[in-house]
Protein backbone atom coordinates (compact mmCIF):
# COMPACT_ATOMS: atom_id res chain seq x y z
CA UNK A 1 0.00 0.00 0.00
CA UNK A 2 1.35 3.43 -0.92
CA UNK A 3 0.72 6.41 1.32
CA UNK A 4 -1.44 9.22 -0.04
CA UNK A 5 0.44 12.19 -1.43
CA UNK A 6 -0.38 15.90 -1.09
CA UNK A 7 0.15 19.09 -3.07
CA UNK A 8 3.52 20.53 -2.07
CA UNK A 9 2.70 23.09 0.66
CA UNK A 10 4.11 26.60 0.78
CA UNK A 11 4.19 26.72 4.56
CA UNK A 12 6.45 29.02 6.61
CA UNK A 13 5.26 28.21 10.14
CA UNK A 14 7.82 28.40 12.95
CA UNK A 15 7.02 25.09 14.58
CA UNK A 16 5.86 22.44 14.58
CA UNK A 17 7.23 23.02 11.14
CA UNK A 18 7.15 21.69 7.62
CA UNK A 19 8.67 18.30 6.79
CA UNK A 20 9.60 16.95 3.35
CA UNK A 21 6.58 15.32 1.74
CA UNK A 22 8.54 12.21 0.74
CA UNK A 23 9.58 11.75 4.39
CA UNK A 24 5.99 12.02 5.57
CA UNK A 25 4.80 9.59 2.89
CA UNK A 26 7.24 6.95 4.08
CA UNK A 27 6.44 7.65 7.74
CA UNK A 28 2.71 7.40 7.03
CA UNK A 29 3.14 3.96 5.48
CA UNK A 30 5.35 2.84 8.37
CA UNK A 31 2.80 4.11 10.89
CA UNK A 32 0.31 1.64 9.42
CA UNK A 33 2.59 -1.36 8.86
CA UNK A 34 6.30 -1.28 9.61
CA UNK A 35 8.52 -3.73 7.70
CA UNK A 36 5.51 -6.02 7.11
CA UNK A 37 5.21 -6.73 10.83
CA UNK A 38 1.46 -6.21 10.73
CA UNK A 39 1.72 -3.33 13.21
CA UNK A 40 2.90 0.23 12.82
CA UNK A 41 6.01 1.94 14.13
CA UNK A 42 3.90 3.77 16.71
CA UNK A 43 2.51 0.51 18.11
CA UNK A 44 5.57 -1.64 18.74
CA UNK A 45 7.51 -1.77 22.00
CA UNK A 46 10.23 0.82 22.50
CA UNK A 47 12.45 -2.06 23.64
CA UNK A 48 11.74 -4.36 20.69
CA UNK A 49 14.55 -5.31 18.34
CA UNK A 50 12.97 -3.19 15.59
CA UNK A 51 12.80 -0.13 17.87
CA UNK A 52 16.40 -0.67 18.96
CA UNK A 53 17.43 -0.83 15.30
CA UNK A 54 15.63 2.48 14.64
CA UNK A 55 17.34 4.18 17.58
CA UNK A 56 20.76 2.84 16.59
CA UNK A 57 20.41 3.76 12.93
CA UNK A 58 19.22 7.26 13.82
CA UNK A 59 22.21 7.74 16.12
CA UNK A 60 24.51 6.43 13.38
CA UNK A 61 23.11 8.87 10.82
CA UNK A 62 23.31 11.75 13.33
CA UNK A 63 26.97 10.89 13.82
CA UNK A 64 27.53 10.70 10.08
CA UNK A 65 25.85 13.95 9.05
CA UNK A 66 27.37 16.02 11.88
CA UNK A 67 30.73 14.21 11.80
CA UNK A 68 30.41 13.73 15.57
CA UNK A 69 33.72 12.74 17.21
CA UNK A 70 34.11 9.62 19.36
CA UNK A 71 34.27 11.88 22.41
CA UNK A 72 30.53 12.56 22.13
CA UNK A 73 27.33 10.53 22.48
CA UNK A 74 23.94 10.97 20.77
CA UNK A 75 20.70 10.19 22.60
CA UNK A 76 17.00 11.03 22.52
CA UNK A 77 14.63 12.02 25.32
CA UNK A 78 11.23 13.47 26.10
CA UNK A 79 10.45 16.93 27.44
CA UNK A 80 11.03 19.12 24.40
CA UNK A 81 13.22 22.21 24.54
CA UNK A 82 11.62 23.34 27.79
CA UNK A 83 12.43 20.02 29.43
CA UNK A 84 15.94 20.51 28.16
CA UNK A 85 16.21 23.83 30.03
CA UNK A 86 15.83 21.90 33.29
CA UNK A 87 17.80 18.82 32.23
CA UNK A 88 20.81 20.99 31.39
CA UNK A 89 20.86 22.50 34.88
CA UNK A 90 20.50 19.21 36.77
CA UNK A 91 23.00 17.26 34.70
CA UNK A 92 25.66 19.86 34.03
CA UNK A 93 25.85 20.96 37.69
CA UNK A 94 26.15 17.33 38.79
CA UNK A 95 28.93 16.72 36.27
CA UNK A 96 30.82 19.81 37.39
CA UNK A 97 30.49 18.71 41.00
CA UNK A 98 31.98 15.33 40.13
CA UNK A 99 34.96 17.08 38.54
CA UNK A 100 35.56 19.81 41.13
CA UNK A 101 33.63 19.04 44.30
CA UNK A 102 31.80 22.37 43.83
CA UNK A 103 28.27 23.28 42.84
CA UNK A 104 29.53 25.84 40.35
CA UNK A 105 28.02 28.86 38.65
CA UNK A 106 26.25 28.93 35.29
CA UNK A 107 26.66 31.56 32.59
CA UNK A 108 23.85 32.48 30.18
CA UNK A 109 23.68 34.64 27.07
CA UNK A 110 20.23 36.22 26.72
CA UNK A 111 19.53 37.05 23.09
CA UNK A 112 15.82 36.23 22.79
CA UNK A 113 12.78 34.71 24.44
CA UNK A 114 14.12 31.15 24.56
CA UNK A 115 17.47 31.89 26.18
CA UNK A 116 15.61 34.18 28.58
CA UNK A 117 13.29 31.31 29.54
CA UNK A 118 16.25 28.97 29.91
CA UNK A 119 18.07 31.34 32.27
CA UNK A 120 14.90 31.83 34.31
CA UNK A 121 14.48 28.07 34.64
CA UNK A 122 18.09 27.72 35.81
CA UNK A 123 17.50 30.36 38.46
CA UNK A 124 14.19 28.75 39.49
CA UNK A 125 16.01 25.46 40.02
CA UNK A 126 18.51 27.06 42.36
CA UNK A 127 21.48 27.64 40.07
CA UNK A 128 23.78 30.60 40.62
CA UNK A 129 23.13 32.36 37.30
CA UNK A 130 25.43 34.95 35.75
CA UNK A 131 24.26 36.78 32.61
CA UNK A 132 27.16 37.01 30.18
CA UNK A 133 25.28 39.56 28.07
CA UNK A 134 21.64 40.61 27.76
CA UNK A 135 20.95 41.86 24.24
CA UNK A 136 18.15 44.13 25.43
CA UNK A 137 20.64 46.32 27.28
CA UNK A 138 22.36 47.09 23.99
CA UNK A 139 19.29 47.61 21.80
CA UNK A 140 16.87 49.96 23.57
CA UNK A 141 15.21 47.22 25.59
CA UNK A 142 14.54 44.94 22.62
CA UNK A 143 16.14 41.86 21.14
CA UNK A 144 17.74 42.12 17.72
CA UNK A 145 21.51 42.13 18.29
CA UNK A 146 24.30 39.90 19.53
CA UNK A 147 26.27 42.06 22.00
CA UNK A 148 29.91 42.71 21.08
CA UNK A 149 32.48 40.35 22.57
CA UNK A 150 33.97 43.27 24.50
CA UNK A 151 30.73 43.41 26.50
CA UNK A 152 30.66 39.76 27.53
CA UNK A 153 31.09 39.17 31.27
CA UNK A 154 31.96 35.57 32.12
CA UNK A 155 32.21 34.11 35.61
CA UNK A 156 35.50 32.85 36.99
CA UNK A 157 36.26 29.83 34.74
CA UNK A 158 37.29 27.71 37.73
CA UNK A 159 33.80 28.22 39.19
CA UNK A 160 31.77 27.87 35.99
CA UNK A 161 29.86 24.67 35.29
CA UNK A 162 28.89 25.75 31.77
CA UNK A 163 28.14 28.62 29.39
CA UNK A 164 24.72 28.46 27.72
CA UNK A 165 23.37 30.12 24.59
CA UNK A 166 20.55 29.68 22.09
CA UNK A 167 22.11 29.52 18.63
CA UNK A 168 18.94 30.65 16.86
CA UNK A 169 16.07 32.58 18.44
CA UNK A 170 12.87 31.84 16.54
CA UNK A 171 10.83 34.74 17.96
CA UNK A 172 13.45 37.47 17.74
CA UNK A 173 14.89 36.26 14.43
CA UNK A 174 18.43 36.34 15.82
CA UNK A 175 21.16 33.80 15.03
CA UNK A 176 24.79 33.63 16.10
CA UNK A 177 27.01 34.01 13.03
CA UNK A 178 29.69 31.91 14.72
CA UNK A 179 30.11 29.75 17.80
CA UNK A 180 30.84 32.05 20.76
CA UNK A 181 34.31 31.72 22.29
CA UNK A 182 34.19 30.85 25.98
CA UNK A 183 36.93 30.66 28.60
CA UNK A 184 39.26 27.71 28.19
CA UNK A 185 38.13 24.61 30.04
CA UNK A 186 34.51 25.75 30.38
CA UNK A 187 31.85 23.58 28.75
CA UNK A 188 29.65 25.22 26.10
CA UNK A 189 25.95 24.28 25.94
CA UNK A 190 23.83 25.21 22.92
CA UNK A 191 20.10 25.08 22.29
CA UNK A 192 19.88 24.33 18.56
CA UNK A 193 16.20 23.43 18.40
CA UNK A 194 15.52 25.59 15.37
CA UNK A 195 18.69 25.48 13.27
CA UNK A 196 20.24 22.06 13.82
CA UNK A 197 21.21 20.47 10.47
CA UNK A 198 20.92 23.80 8.64
CA UNK A 199 24.70 24.33 8.56
CA UNK A 200 28.01 22.61 9.14
CA UNK A 201 29.07 22.41 12.77
CA UNK A 202 32.21 21.59 14.74
CA UNK A 203 30.72 19.44 17.48
CA UNK A 204 34.05 19.20 19.30
CA UNK A 205 33.59 22.79 20.51
CA UNK A 206 30.56 21.81 22.60
CA UNK A 207 29.98 20.00 25.84
CA UNK A 208 26.30 19.63 24.97
CA UNK A 209 23.99 20.39 22.04
CA UNK A 210 20.27 19.79 22.42
CA UNK A 211 16.88 20.77 21.09
CA UNK A 212 13.31 19.82 20.32
CA UNK A 213 12.95 18.02 17.02
CA UNK A 214 9.80 19.80 15.84
CA UNK A 215 11.43 22.89 14.34
CA UNK A 216 13.74 21.53 11.69
CA UNK A 217 14.18 17.75 11.78
CA UNK A 218 11.07 16.01 13.02
CA UNK A 219 7.79 16.21 14.88
CA UNK A 220 6.93 17.20 18.43
CA UNK A 221 7.44 14.49 21.02
CA UNK A 222 11.19 13.92 21.17
CA UNK A 223 14.36 15.91 21.80
CA UNK A 224 17.88 15.25 20.55
CA UNK A 225 21.06 15.51 22.62
CA UNK A 226 24.74 15.35 21.67
CA UNK A 227 26.88 15.26 24.81
CA UNK A 228 30.56 14.93 25.61
CA UNK A 229 30.89 11.49 27.17
CA UNK A 230 33.03 12.76 30.04
CA UNK A 231 30.04 14.85 31.21
CA UNK A 232 28.09 11.70 32.00
CA UNK A 233 30.14 11.20 35.18
CA UNK A 234 28.62 12.63 38.35
CA UNK A 235 28.62 12.53 42.11
CA UNK A 236 26.36 10.13 44.03
CA UNK A 237 23.10 11.94 44.71
CA UNK A 238 23.64 12.31 48.46
CA UNK A 239 26.91 14.12 47.87
CA UNK A 240 25.31 16.28 45.18
CA UNK A 241 22.46 17.15 47.54
CA UNK A 242 24.98 18.25 50.16
CA UNK A 243 26.30 20.78 47.62
CA UNK A 244 22.80 22.12 46.93
CA UNK A 245 22.30 20.30 43.62
CA UNK A 246 18.71 19.09 43.27
CA UNK A 247 17.69 15.55 42.42
CA UNK A 248 17.15 15.15 38.69
CA UNK A 249 13.92 13.43 37.61
CA UNK A 250 15.03 10.05 36.33
CA UNK A 251 13.56 10.52 32.85
CA UNK A 252 15.83 13.55 32.38
CA UNK A 253 18.93 11.95 33.92
CA UNK A 254 21.46 11.75 31.08
CA UNK A 255 23.49 8.76 32.36
CA UNK A 256 20.31 6.74 32.84
CA UNK A 257 19.07 7.60 29.36
CA UNK A 258 22.39 6.78 27.70
CA UNK A 259 22.82 3.54 29.67
CA UNK A 260 19.42 2.41 28.37
CA UNK A 261 20.01 3.54 24.78
CA UNK A 262 17.33 6.29 24.94
CA UNK A 263 14.69 3.76 26.05
CA UNK A 264 14.73 4.04 29.85
CA UNK A 265 11.08 5.13 29.61
CA UNK A 266 8.65 4.97 26.71
CA UNK A 267 10.31 7.24 24.20
CA UNK A 268 8.40 7.82 20.94
CA UNK A 269 9.91 5.48 18.35
CA UNK A 270 7.73 7.10 15.68
CA UNK A 271 9.35 10.49 16.40
CA UNK A 272 12.86 9.02 16.29
CA UNK A 273 12.02 7.17 13.07
CA UNK A 274 10.95 10.41 11.42
CA UNK A 275 14.22 12.06 12.47
CA UNK A 276 16.05 9.17 10.84
CA UNK A 277 14.09 9.58 7.62
CA UNK A 278 14.94 13.29 7.60
CA UNK A 279 18.63 12.51 8.19
CA UNK A 280 18.71 10.02 5.33
CA UNK A 281 16.95 12.53 3.10
CA UNK A 282 19.56 15.19 3.90
CA UNK A 283 22.46 12.79 3.39
CA UNK A 284 21.10 11.83 -0.02
CA UNK A 285 20.97 15.50 -0.99
CA UNK A 286 24.63 16.16 -0.17
CA UNK A 287 24.71 16.62 3.59
CA UNK A 288 25.18 19.81 5.57
CA UNK A 289 27.50 21.56 3.12
CA UNK A 290 24.79 21.50 0.46
CA UNK A 291 22.07 22.35 2.99
CA UNK A 292 23.98 25.33 4.37
CA UNK A 293 24.42 26.79 0.89
CA UNK A 294 20.72 26.33 0.17
CA UNK A 295 19.64 27.81 3.51
CA UNK A 296 21.76 30.92 3.01
CA UNK A 297 20.60 31.37 -0.58
CA UNK A 298 16.93 31.12 0.35
CA UNK A 299 17.32 33.55 3.25
CA UNK A 300 19.25 36.06 1.17
CA UNK A 301 16.48 36.16 -1.42
CA UNK A 302 14.00 37.23 1.24
CA UNK A 303 16.29 39.72 2.97
CA UNK A 304 17.24 41.25 -0.37
CA UNK A 305 13.70 42.14 -1.46
CA UNK A 306 12.90 43.50 2.00
CA UNK A 307 16.09 45.59 2.18
CA UNK A 308 15.33 47.10 -1.22
CA UNK A 309 12.12 48.60 0.17
CA UNK A 310 13.00 50.24 3.53
CA UNK A 311 10.06 52.64 3.40
CA UNK A 312 7.67 49.73 3.52
CA UNK A 313 9.48 47.01 5.46
CA UNK A 314 11.14 47.38 8.84
CA UNK A 315 13.72 44.73 9.76
CA UNK A 316 14.43 44.97 13.52
CA UNK A 317 17.45 42.65 13.61
CA UNK A 318 20.97 43.97 13.05
CA UNK A 319 22.41 42.57 9.81
CA UNK A 320 25.24 40.87 11.72
CA UNK A 321 22.72 38.83 13.74
CA UNK A 322 20.05 38.03 11.17
CA UNK A 323 18.72 34.50 11.29
CA UNK A 324 18.77 32.29 8.22
CA UNK A 325 15.95 30.27 9.76
CA UNK A 326 13.46 32.90 10.99
CA UNK A 327 13.19 36.15 9.06
CA UNK A 328 11.16 38.72 11.00
CA UNK A 329 9.85 42.10 9.90
CA UNK A 330 7.02 44.55 10.29
CA UNK A 331 5.23 46.48 7.57
CA UNK A 332 4.72 50.21 7.71
CA UNK A 333 1.36 51.72 6.86
CA UNK A 334 -1.99 51.23 8.51
CA UNK A 335 -3.56 47.88 7.73
CA UNK A 336 -0.68 46.69 5.56
CA UNK A 337 0.27 43.72 7.71
CA UNK A 338 -3.31 42.47 7.64
CA UNK A 339 -3.37 42.91 3.85
CA UNK A 340 -0.06 41.06 3.56
CA UNK A 341 -1.33 38.08 5.52
CA UNK A 342 -4.66 38.01 3.69
CA UNK A 343 -3.03 38.34 0.27
CA UNK A 344 -0.37 35.73 0.96
CA UNK A 345 -3.01 33.30 2.19
CA UNK A 346 -4.94 33.78 -1.04
CA UNK A 347 -1.79 32.71 -2.89
CA UNK A 348 -1.49 29.55 -0.80
CA UNK A 349 1.36 30.95 1.31
CA UNK A 350 0.69 30.17 4.96
CA UNK A 351 2.28 30.32 8.41
CA UNK A 352 3.57 33.88 8.00
CA UNK A 353 2.05 35.58 11.04
CA UNK A 354 4.64 36.70 13.59
CA UNK A 355 4.81 35.32 17.11
CA UNK A 356 1.97 36.55 19.30
CA UNK A 357 4.41 38.29 21.66
CA UNK A 358 5.91 40.55 18.98
CA UNK A 359 3.48 40.57 16.06
CA UNK A 360 4.60 41.43 12.55
CA UNK A 361 5.56 38.86 9.93
CA UNK A 362 7.83 35.85 10.29
CA UNK A 363 9.17 33.76 7.42
CA UNK A 364 10.51 30.48 8.78
CA UNK A 365 13.04 29.15 6.32
CA UNK A 366 13.60 25.65 7.65
CA UNK A 367 15.25 22.89 5.66
CA UNK A 368 11.98 21.49 4.33
CA UNK A 369 10.92 24.87 2.89
CA UNK A 370 11.82 24.54 -0.78
CA UNK A 371 13.48 27.22 -2.86
CA UNK A 372 10.39 27.11 -5.07
CA UNK A 373 8.27 28.14 -2.07
CA UNK A 374 10.65 31.00 -1.33
CA UNK A 375 10.44 32.11 -4.97
CA UNK A 376 6.64 32.11 -4.81
CA UNK A 377 6.83 34.23 -1.68
CA UNK A 378 9.18 36.68 -3.41
CA UNK A 379 6.76 37.03 -6.33
CA UNK A 380 3.94 37.80 -3.92
CA UNK A 381 6.09 40.37 -2.08
CA UNK A 382 6.87 42.10 -5.39
CA UNK A 383 3.17 42.32 -6.21
CA UNK A 384 2.39 43.52 -2.69
CA UNK A 385 4.96 46.32 -3.01
CA UNK A 386 3.27 47.60 -6.16
CA UNK A 387 -0.09 47.87 -4.44
CA UNK A 388 0.92 48.92 -0.92
CA UNK A 389 0.87 52.53 0.26
CA UNK A 390 2.79 53.90 3.23
Whether 152 is a known active-site residue: answer no
Q: What is the CATH classification number for the domain harbouring 254?
A: 3.40.640.10
Distance CA 168, CA 166 (A): 6
Tell me the DSSP string of 163-186. Answer: EEEESEETTTTEE-SSPPP--TTP
Residue 245's pLDDT is: 87
Distance CA 298, CA 373 (A): 9
Structure confidence by residue, pLDDT tens digits, 50-83: 999 999 999 999 999 999 999 999 999 999 999 9
The answer on 370 and 242 residing in a single domain is: no
17: in domain: no
**Which of 107, 114, 253, 298 is flagged as catalytic?**
114
Residue 123's pLDDT is: 97
Nearest to 13 by CA among 219, 287, 314, 265: 219
Residue 235's pLDDT is: 82
The answer on 279 and 239 residing in a single domain is: yes
Residue 324's pLDDT is: 98
pLDDT at 374 over 50: yes
Q: What is the dihedral sign for C-alpha 318, 323, 324, 326? A: negative
Q: What letter would DSSP give residue 70?
A: T
**Which of 30, 167, 191, 253 is flagged as catalytic?**
191
Helices 49-66 and 269-284: crossing angle in degrees, nearest 10, is 40
pLDDT at 225 over 80: yes
Whether 191 is a known active-site residue: answer yes
Nearest to 131 by CA among 103, 152, 150: 152
- Domain stops at, among 221, 256, 283: 283
Distance CA 366, CA 12 (A): 8
Phi, then psi, of 132 in degrees rounded to 5: -65, -45
C-alpha dist (Å) from residue 46 to 107, 239, 263, 266, 300: 36, 33, 6, 6, 42
Prediction pTM value: 0.96
What is the DSSP pairing of strand 168-169 with strand 174-175? antiparallel
**Which of 103, 105, 215, 353 is flagged as catalytic?**
215
Q: Which helix (H) or strand (E) holds 226?
A: strand 223-228
Total count of domains within the chain: 2
What's the average model confidence in pLDDT over 381-387?
95
pLDDT at 125 over 80: yes
294: in domain: yes
28: in domain: no
Query: Residue 110 in contact with residue 119, Cβ under 8 Å?
Result: yes
- Domain stops at, among 283, 314, 348: 283
| Least-confidence region, from 85-94, 135-144, 201-210, 229-238 | 229-238
3-state secondary structure of 247: coil
Structure confidence by residue, pLDDT tens digits, 25-34: 999 999 999 9
pLDDT at 2 over 70: no
Collect all residues with Cβ–Cβ distance below 8 Å to 251 and sequence separation of at least 6. 77, 78, 79, 257, 264, 265
The answer on 273 and 124 residing in a single domain is: yes
The answer on 303 and 368 residing in a single domain is: yes
The answer on 99 and 207 residing in a single domain is: yes
Structure confidence by residue, pLDDT tens digits, 110-122: 999 999 999 999 9
Query: Residue 170 in contact with residue 216, Cβ under 8 Å?
Result: no
Phi, then psi, of 261 in degrees rounded to 5: 50, 45
Residue 4's pLDDT is: 54
- A 10 A CB-CB count for 128 gives 17
**Domain of 182?**
49-283
The answer on 180 and 84 residing in a single domain is: yes
Tell me the DSSP string of 26-44. Answer: HHHHHHH-STTSSS-TTTS
The answer on 157 and 108 residing in a single domain is: yes
In sequence order, the β-bridge partners of residue 223 are: 77, 212
Query: Residue 350 in contact with residue 10, Cβ under 8 Å?
Result: yes
Collect all residues with Cβ–Cβ distance below 8 Å to 29 and sequence separation of at least 6. 1, 2, 3
3-state secondary structure of 59: helix
Phi, then psi, of 131 in degrees rounded to 5: -90, 115
Q: What is the CATH classification number for the domain harbouring 298?
A: 3.90.1150.10
Amino acid sequence: MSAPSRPEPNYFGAGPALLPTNVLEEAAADLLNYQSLGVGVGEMSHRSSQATDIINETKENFNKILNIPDTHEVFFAQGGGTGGFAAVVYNMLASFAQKTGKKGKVDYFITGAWSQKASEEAERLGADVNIVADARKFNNGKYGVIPAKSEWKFSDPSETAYVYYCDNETVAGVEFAEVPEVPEGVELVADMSSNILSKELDVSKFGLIFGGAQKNIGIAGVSFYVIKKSLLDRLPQKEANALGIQVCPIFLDFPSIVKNNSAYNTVSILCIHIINLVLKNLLAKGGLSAQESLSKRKAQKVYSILDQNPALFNLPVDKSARSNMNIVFTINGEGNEEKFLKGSSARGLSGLKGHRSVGGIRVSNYNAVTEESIDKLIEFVKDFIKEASV
